[in-house]
Structure 1
Amino acid sequence: MTDSSVFLRSVKCFIICGLLTLSSTLSLTTNDKRPNTRTKPSQPNIVFVLADDYGWNDVGYHGSEIKTPTLDRLAADGVKLDNYYVQPICSPTRSQLLSGRYQIHTGLQHGIIWAAQPNGLPLELPTIADKLREVGYATHAVGKWHLGFYKEAYTPLHRGFDSYFGYLTGGEDYLSHKRCTDVGHEMVCGLDLRDGEKPDWNKTGVYSTHLFTSRAEKIITDHAKQSPDKPLFLYLPYQAVHSPLQVPQRYLDQYKNIKDHDRRIYAGMVSCMDEGVQNITKTLERFDMWKNTVFIFSTDNGGQILSGGNNWPLRGWKGSLWEGGMRGVGFVNSPLLKNKGQVRRGLMHVSDWFPTLVHLAGGNTTGLKLDGHDIWRAISEGGPSPRKELLHNIDPMYQQAGERLFNNTFDSRVRAAVRVNNWKLITGDPGNSRWVPPPHVSADTDDTLRFVPKKNIWLFDVATDPWERHDLSDKRPDIVKSLLERLVFYNLTAVPVRYPPMDPNCDPSKHGGVWSPWQD
């Protein structure tokens, strides 16, 4: 080999080695910046659909006569949550979902937030939308708020959401979008529909389930076109299937076999909601977003049997501490699930979504005193749930029941419920206590087990008796005492109840005929 050939090979090697070194350096530089530039595409889109007053026996996969093909398919192909709990009524569930904290730690232990109440989810608590926005998410809310609006600071655009379309109170007419409520023995009425912070007067006659579905589809479409590199959080708390019982005729036509008037309308409302979920998932698929989406469906409480809902064979209904009031319909579907087509029987609670979704999104909950647990691994992989107990509630304002049974532990007259492993203890007045089959089913409801006056303590092994037919409080006083001590423990951490009197200054006639913030 000539000297010139050796020289040329040396130069070539020098150049190649230099390029490789430069490439390696650039690669290291890119990796160093990876948390800021490369994690975003892997952050999942999160779509959370919350139904209102949707009962255990109102979804097809629980054996209902109501047709829910979309929910059935998504649940079957995803993960069904069989031991999942919400709260018995609206505001408490929403507050725990968005804050990750029990009611006793937000002051919302008693009742709901009424339209005329100067009340709301405490401002010092960050919402799940706040935490997701911190890590780059576009955050949108469509539908029912019901977490306070007497000051602008309590409304969605000030609680972490980039956009909001919906209504602020707890319920209204599905077509006129107006709400009436009694304030000091005087009925006040007004429009309750807004786009952002502006009232929307142009949707009269448009059924709210269609309205909210359409807006959700638009948000997904605009996001896909305008912000494809940004993860999406869409919170869709439907008005459906809360009263009043209203639905377009075409959804009723498929239920001519249901003779009960309320049940038939309610069934149509469910079918309309099911169709809405189908349209939303199809929109996600159309824009190739579904492959990186975590879709969650949940009810906010048990069904209201006085308005067509049903929780059979569970005991009780909306507003009660029985399983029928709190054991929720819920499932997760996502291509990101490691094990699909399964049922999870580990204990789960609505407050768990906060840390679960924030951590899944790459955020952190450091410094937050949460009551929720990160349950993603339990959902996705089928491992054990990190939750072994949950506090259903302690409500010191609810009318006390019976006589105090023990002087050295929790007061059994106070309305409360706690779950530890398979054991559930109820104290005070649990609320409506019957088993109510759907109208077309003739069943022995064993009314001898109904609520007994002055009785104020019940114990159940919910794993073997989810129908709460076998009260074991007399047979297992050791478990009763143990769970009463857990209530003592939780009660020591409770903050004062926030339940101010109604304020007549809320009157929409003082605010342009619209339900609006009324205090500065």
Structure 2
Amino acid sequence: MASERWFYPIRESSSIKPNIVFILADDFGWNDIGYHGSFIKTPNLDRLASEGVKLENYYVQPICSPSRCQLMTGRYQIHYGLQHSVITSDRPHGLPLDEVTLPQKLKESGYSTYIVGKWHLGFFKEEYMPLRRGFDRFYGYLTGGEDYWTHRRPNLYAKDLTAYHGLDLRDQDLPVLDQNGTYSTNLFAHKAIEIILNHQQNKPMFLYLPFQAVHSPIEAPKEYIEKYKNAKNTLVRIYAAMVTAMDEAIGNVTNALIKTGMWNNTVLIFSTDNGARRNAGSNWPLRGWKSTLWEGGVRGVGFITSKLLKKGERKSDALIHISDWFPTLLRISGAAASNATKPLDGFDIWDTLSIGTPSPRSEILHNIDPLHREAAYSSVNSRYDDIFNTSVYAAIRSGHWKLLTGSQDLEGWKHRSTSGNHFEEAVDPPNRHLWLFNIRHDPQERTDLSDLYPDVVQDLLQKLATYNKTAIPPFWPPRDARANPALHGDLFGPWL
């Protein structure tokens, strides 16, 4: 449970609530940003991060929906049955309605609440749509990914030939039919700026800006691709262009905040939702990528910047998880986390961010997914199975230790340069189902210590078992043909 003891006020002698701008990139890797050594040009992100606090021990979830769920609720996904995969466009599921969301709480505290960009938290019924989950304004799309120009899903990049096709772009509850040919990064930045310029400043603002960038498909305007004409690899060149386009868009949004005079009373947070994909971005030097519980999938780029921080212009090694934003943002908004309807897994980290106190968090449950199992592992007999079934796909970070179990993809490392992607494959035995790493000393997860420290293994397995007792079963309903946009005017949206 997050601590509710507040040590320092947000601002001395002021009742003005800060504006909150939360920018979420999609599939943005650890090595995709300039200040982590990337060749990709991100001058706006680099500047904003240098003025604030760079979060260098910050964790997210390995795929889209779980990160967004935990941001919106401050609760681990095992506690509402979303521990398996993402929320899909053709299954009747979503973030459960009895989960209280961040915009709902901020709205109760007097905020105007806006979302521009990707939702991906369910839409099979009207009750699951953004406007019913706490947002006053919604401009964006509902599913997990689509074409950047046509705003249709899917296009030729889709591997699933049975996937449904349709338009996925809405303004409030109405389809947007006149933006075919407008690149989504520019479109969403333009709409965010429009909201900022028209916001009534007698009310605080919560602007949630989950960009489509840099999710697949790999598409970018020619003028940005031209910036990387010296790169030899086409995929790398276009991906870098996508990142730079997003960086410029974020610069334009922050300029609008400055122009309106809102910047001095704004807290801006930047985060990725998970690590980069194998084929595009880079998580170097971390192991693995999106959809894996290796560090490359779950250690995320993130920073906070604001003139309200007491100590900016620094790096923080404090252990932080995406679920911590819920109680933290409730605190700076003046809303009490104790009024949330269910126990939180996130912690109030404002003092850690603002003045550099130690993080109240000492461990992170990355996930426990009993549906993610393969036959090769289902019959494994481990000396630890009386504590926790090590064939179950799971991972936990506690202190400097990280334990992984189950059918982990044996992913390696990818270094990317302008000449292309260079892979180093892992050499783990194919039947391994248990790993222990000291992440402080081995952030690349190269040396498995499970045989050397059985007591640590037992302790972390016991922690997994304890968490598992609080989990509810994964909810993974079958595909529903009624979701087909062809039955709903060629538009993705509620079907029940």
TM value normalised by structure 2:
0.93
1:263 aligns with 2:241: no
1:167-246 correspondence to structure 2 within 5 Å? 167-180=141-154, 186-223=162-199, 227-246=200-219
Write the distance in 2 (CA, Å) between the matches of 1:443 and 1:145: 31
Alignment match, 1:316: 288
**Residue type of the partner of 1:235?**
Y
In structure 1, the residue matched to 2:487 is: 510
Deviation (angstroms), 1:404: 3.0
Q: Is 1:428 matched up with 2:400?
A: no
Separation of aligned partners in 1, 2:159 and 2:440: 44
CA distance in 1, matches of 2:292, 2:71: 19
CA positional deviation for 1:359: 1.1
Query: Identity rate of aligned residues, in percent?
Result: 52
Q: Is the 8 A contact 1:194 1:200 kept in 2?
A: yes
Structure 1 unaligned spans of 5+: 1-37
Equivalent position to 1:371, from 345, 352, 361: 345
Residue 254 of structure 2 is matched in structure 1 by 281
Shift of residue 439, structure 1, vs aligned partner: 4.1
Match of residue 55, structure 2, among 54, 62, 81: 81
Secondary structure at 2:154's aligned position in 1?
A: strand
For the pair 1:249 / 2:222, whether they are aligned, the reply is yes
| Alpha-carbon distance between aligned partners in 2 of 1:265 and 1:329, rounded to the nearest angstrom | 20
Structure 1 residue matching 2:402: 3-state secondary structure: strand
**1:396-475 alignment runs, 5 A limit:** 396-400=370-374, 402=377, 403-405=380-382, 406-440=384-418, 447=425, 449-475=426-452
1:42 match: secondary structure: coil
Contact 1:40–1:229 (8 Å) recurs in 2: no
Superposed, 1:346-385 pairs within 5 Å as: 346-366=318-338, 367-385=341-359
Cα pair distance change 1:201/1:423, threshold 3 Å: same
Deviation of 1:453 (Å): 1.2
Aligned twin of 1:334: 306
**Deviation (angstroms), 1:498:** 1.1
Alignment of 1:51-200 (within 5 A): 51-180=25-154, 186-200=162-176
Task: Specify whether residues 514 and 58 from structure 1 end up closer, same or farther in structure 2 by C-alpha distance, changes over 3 A only.
Answer: same
Residues 486-506 of structure 1, C-alpha deviations (whole Å, 9 max, x = no match): 000000000111111110000
Deviates more, 1:254-263 or 1:118-127: 254-263
Output the CA distance in 1 between the equivalents of 2:336 and 2:206.
Answer: 16
Q: Secondary structure, in 3 states, of the residue corresponding to 1:49?
A: strand
Deviation of the 1:81 alpha carbon:
0.3
Aligned to 2:3: none
Alpha-carbon separation, structure 1, partners of 2:160 and 2:67: 27
Deviation at 1:430, TM superposition (A): 2.0
Stretches of structure 2 that go unaligned for 5 or more consecutive residues are 1-11
Amino acid at match of 1:495: I
Partner of 1:304: 277
1:402-458 alpha-carbon deviations (Å, 9 max, x no partner): 3131231011111000011110000012225111110447999764x4342111000
Residue 183 of structure 1 and its aligned partner are, at CA, apart by: 12
User: Is the Cα–Cα contact under 8 Å of residues 41 and 229 in structure 1 kept in the other structure?
Assistant: no
Q: Distance in 1 between matches of 2:161 and 2:26?
A: 27
Residues 1:286 and 1:228: Cα distance change in structure 2 (over 3 Å):
same
User: Cα deviation per residue 1:273-323 (whole Å; 9 max; x = unaligned)?
Assistant: 0001100100000011000000000000000121x2111110000011100
The separation in 2 between residues aligned to 1:275 and 1:440, in whole angstroms, is 21
Q: Aligned partners of 1:88 and 1:176: how far apart in 2? A: 27
Query: In structure 1, how many angstroms separate the alpha carbons of the residues matched to 2:64 and 2:442?
Result: 26
Following superposition of structure 1 onto structure 2, how do residues 12-31 of structure 1 map, counting pairs within 5 Å? none
Partners of 1:451 and 1:116 in 2: CA distance: 36
Deviation at 1:473, TM superposition (A): 0.5
Superposed CA offset, 1:60-85 (max 9, x none):
00000100000000111100000000
CA distance in 1, matches of 2:423, 2:90: 39
Relative to structure 1, is the Cα distance of residues 374 and 384 closer, same or farther in structure 2, using a 3 angstrom cutoff? same
Greater helix content: 1
Cα deviation, residue 516, structure 1: 1.1
Match of 1:480 among 457, 464, 475: 457
**CA distance in 1 between partners of 2:163 and 2:432 (Å):** 38
Give distance in 2, aligned partners of 1:503 and 1:175: 27
CA RMSD, aligned part only? 1.8
SS at match of 1:56: coil
Match of 2:5 in 1: none
Give SS of 1:58's match. Answer: coil
